[in-house]
Amino acid sequence: MPASDESLHTTATDLRMATFRLARRLRRERADDHISDAHFAVLASLKMNGALTIGALAQRERVTAPTMSSTVAALVEDGYVTRVQDADDRRRVQVEITDAGTAVVTETVRKRDAALSDALSELDFTETELRTLRDASALMRKVAER
pLDDT tens figures, 108-119: 999 999 999 999
Amino acid type, 94:
Q
Write out pLDDT tens, residues 26-65.
Answer: 998 988 888 999 999 999 999 999 999 999 999 999 999 9
141 vs 136: CA distance, rounded Å: 9
> pTM of the entire structure?
0.81
With contact defined as beta carbons under 8 Å apart, do 81 and 87 qualify?
Answer: no
The 8-class DSSP code of residue 2 comes to: P
- Phi, psi dihedral angles at 80 (to 5 degrees): -90, -20
pLDDT grade for 4, boundaries at 50, 70 and 90:
confident
55 vs 46: CA distance, rounded Å: 13
With contact defined as beta carbons under 8 Å apart, do 25 and 113 qualify?
Answer: no
